[in-house]
C-alpha cells in the first residue's frame, strides 16, 4: 500500500437531523423535508464554516437510491442548488449502496491527492421515508445481487441476510452470551443517541433498554434470529464535510487543530454475485481495515474511537473481530466487558451509530466522518468522549450491501 503523496484533511462537518420514527417531529402523514432541502441544509452548514462557495473547487455527493425513493437522478446537478457560487464547478455523484457516503469521501480525498482540488465539498444524502417499510426493503435489496438473490429472499431482505449471519454466529460461538451482547450494543447505541440532538433516537425515553432488546425474535412477523431493536431504522438525512489540502486549509482560514488529518484509507470490493461462505465473519471489512491501518502505520490497539457500520447489532459484534480488537467469537465478551461504551477502551459510535443516530444510507459514511471530526477536535458538545493522548486515532468503517463494498478511513487530529 502506497503512502499518500500529500497531506489531506477534513474539517467543517455538518449533520442534519436524522429524521424518522422516534423523532418527535416525524409524522408519516405530514409533509417533511425532501432531498433538495437536506442537500441544501448540509451543504450550507459546511460552506458557512469555510467562507462560502468561492472556497470550493469541486463537489461530490453520495447517494444510494434516490432514483427509486424520490424519482430523482442526476444528483450532481443538485449541488449548485446549495449556493449560486457552486454553479459551473465540477460535481460528481457516486453510489455504492450503504457505502455511498464513504465513496464520496474517497472521491474527495483522491481529488485532493491528485491536486485537481484543494477544497472538495463532500455530501451524503438519503430520503427513504417516502414509501412503506416493506416496499423500502425491496428497494434496499438492490444493495445485494437483485437478479440472483431477490426472488428467493425474505420480504425484509437485508434483515433476513443478517439474521442468517446471526444464526450461524450463534451456532458457532453460542447464542446466550451473543444475544446479551446484541442487547448491550442496542443499549449503548440509544444511550449515545440520547446525548446527540441530531440523532433519530434522541427522544427515546425507554427505561430498561437491554430488557427491551432481549425480546425474542418472531419469525412469523419478522425474521428468525433478530428482533426490531437489532435493526437500524428507516431514516432521512444528510451530512457534509470539507476535504482539503494544506493550502486548502489556508484558503478557508482553518488551522490544523480545527481539522482531522486522513492518515490511511482503503476501498475493497467483493464479488456481488458470489455467496458468503463464512457467514460468521466480515471478510471484506477485515481486508479494508487492515489496508487502512497499514497505510496509517498503526494497529487497531491504537484506536481511540471507532465509527462502525452497525446496520444490525450482529454486524456491530462481527465488526469488532474484523477490525482486530478481539479474536473470532470474542466480540460478545468485548462488548459485555464495556469496551465499546463511552467509558470503554474503544468507544464505538459515540453519536449513536446507525442504530441510534440513524441510517440515511447515502449519508452514513459522511456522518461517520463528521462524528470523528467532532470528537477529535473537541466539538462534540454533550456527547464528547475523552480521547487518550496515547491513542489519538479514529476509524470509520462504511459497508455497502452484505459486506460487499467497504470503505475504511483512519483519522488523527491535525498537528
**Cα-to-chain-centroid distance, residue 397:** 7
Alpha carbons 258 and 242: distance in angstroms, whole number: 12
pLDDT for residue 210 = 98
Low-confidence ranges of the chain (pLDDT < 70): 1-2
Contact between 38 and 362 under an 8 Å Cβ cutoff? The reply is no
pLDDT for residue 241 = 99
Neighbours of 74 (CB within 10 A): 9
* Inter-helix orientation angle 157-173/133-140, to 10°: 70
Alpha carbons 184 and 44: distance in angstroms, whole number: 37
- Enter the C-alpha cell of residue 379: 466539538
pLDDT for residue 5 = 85
Cα dist from 188 to 162, 194, 257, 369, 400, whole Å: 20, 10, 29, 20, 23
Alpha carbons 127 and 22: distance in angstroms, whole number: 16
pLDDT for residue 414 = 85
What is the arrangement of strands in the sheet containing 236-244, beginning at the earlier edge strand?
90-94, 58-62, 119-127, 236-244, 9-15, 260-269, 405-413, 393-400, 303-307
Taking the whole predicted model, whether its pTM rises above 0.85 is answered as: yes
On the question of a common fold for 9-132+234-258 and 155-232+263-413, the answer reads yes
Alpha carbons 8 and 263: distance in angstroms, whole number: 8
- Enter the C-alpha cell of residue 251: 484558503
Closest CA to 7 of 290, 296, 302: 296
The pLDDT tens digits of the residues spanning 118-167 come to: 999 999 999 999 999 889 999 999 999 999 999 989 999 999 999 999 99
Q: Tell the CATH superfamily of the 9-132+234-258 domain.
A: Thiolase/Chalcone synthase (3.40.47.10)
Side-chain-facing half-sphere of 380: CA atoms under 13 Å:
29
Q: Which residues pair with 19 in a beta bridge?
A: 236
Per DSSP bridges, beta strands 393-400 and 303-307 are parallel
Burial class (CB in 10 A: 0-12, 13-18, 19+), 67: middle
pLDDT for residue 88 = 98
Domains of the chain by residue range? 9-132+234-258, 155-232+263-413
Kindly calculate the radius of gyration of the chain based on its CA atoms and give it in whole angstroms.
20
Alpha carbons 389 and 356: distance in angstroms, whole number: 27
155-232+263-413 CATH fold: Peroxisomal Thiolase; Chain A, domain 1 (3.40.47)
Alpha-helical runs (H) found in 12-152: 35-50, 66-69, 100-113, 133-140, 146-149
Fill in the DSSP letter of residue 407: E
Unique residue bearing C-alpha cell 441476510: 161
Contact between 367 and 101 under an 8 Å Cβ cutoff? The reply is yes
- Residues in Cβ contact with 30 at an 8 Å cutoff, skipping those fewer than 6 apart: none
Amino acid at each position: 500500500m502506497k503512502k499518500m503523496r500529500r497531506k489531506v484533511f477534513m474539517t467543517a462537518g455538518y449533520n442534519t437531523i436524522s429524521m424518522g420514527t422516534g423523532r418527535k417531529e416525524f409524522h408519516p402523514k405530514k409533509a417533511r423535508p425532501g432531498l433538495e432541502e437536506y442537500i441544501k441544509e448540509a451543504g450550507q452548514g459546511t460552506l458557512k464554516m469555510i467562507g462560502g462557495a468561492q472556497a470550493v473547487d469541486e463537489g461530490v455527493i453520495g447517494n444510494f437510491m434516490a432514483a427509486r425513493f424520490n424519482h430523482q437522478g442526476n444528483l450532481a446537478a443538485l449541488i449548485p442548488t446549495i449556493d449560486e457560487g457552486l454553479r459551473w464547478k465540477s460535481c460528481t455523484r457516486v453510489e455504492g449502496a450503504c457505502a455511498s457516503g464513504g465513496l464520496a469521501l474517497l472521491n474527495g480525498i483522491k481529488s485532493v491527492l491528485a491536486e485537481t482540488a484543494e477544497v472538495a465539498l463532500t455530501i451524503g444524502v438519503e430520503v427513504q421515508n417516502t414509501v412503506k417499510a416493506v416496499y423500502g426493503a425491496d428497494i434496499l435489496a438492490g444493495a445485494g445481487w437483485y437478479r440472483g438473490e431477490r426472488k428467493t429472499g425474505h420480504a425484509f431482505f437485508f434483515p433476513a441476510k443478517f439474521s442468517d449471519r446471526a444464526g450461524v454466529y450463534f451456532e458457532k460461538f453460542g447464542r446466550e452470551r451473543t444475544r446479551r451482547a446484541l442487547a448491550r450494543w442496542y443499549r449503548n447505541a440509544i444511550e449515545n443517541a440520547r446525548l446527540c440532538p441530531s440523532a433519530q433516537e434522541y427522544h427515546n425515553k425507554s427505561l430498561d433498554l437491554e430488557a427491551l432488546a432481549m425480546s425474542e425474535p418472531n419469525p412469523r412477523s419478522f425474521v428468525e434470529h433478530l428482533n426490531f431493536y437489532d435493526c437500524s431504522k428507516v431514516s432521512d438525512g444528510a451530512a457534509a464535510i470539507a476535504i482539503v489540502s494544506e493550502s486548502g486549509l489556508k484558503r478557508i482560514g482553518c488551522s490544523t487543530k480545527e481539522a482531522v488529518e486522513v492518515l490511511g484509507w482503503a476501498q475493497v470490493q467483493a464479488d456481488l454475485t458470489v455467496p458468503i461462505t463464512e457467514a460468521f465473519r466480515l471478510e471484506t471489512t477485515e481486508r479494508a481495515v487492515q489496508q487502512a491501518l497499514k497505510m496509517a502505520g498503526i494497529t487497531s490497539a491504537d484506536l481511540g474511537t471507532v465509527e462502525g457500520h452497525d446496520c444490525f447489532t450482529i454486524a456491530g459484534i462481527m465488526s469488532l473481530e474484523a477490525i482486530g480488537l478481539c479474536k473470532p467469537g470474542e466480540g460478545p465478551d468485548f462488548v459485555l466487558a464495556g469496551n465499546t461504551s463511552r467509558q470503554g477502551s474503544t468507544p464505538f459510535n459515540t453519536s449513536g451509530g446507525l442504530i441510534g443516530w440513524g441510517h440515511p444510507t447515502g449519508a452514513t459514511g459522511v456522518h461517520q466522518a463528521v462524528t470523528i471530526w467532532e470528537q477529535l477536535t473537541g466539538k462534540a458538545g454533550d456527547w464528547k468522549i475523552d480521547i487518550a493522548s496515547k491513542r489519538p486515532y479514529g476509524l470509520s468503517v462504511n459497508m455497502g450491501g452484505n459486506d460487499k463494498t467497504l470503505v475504511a478511513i483512519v483519522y488523527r487530529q491535525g498537528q
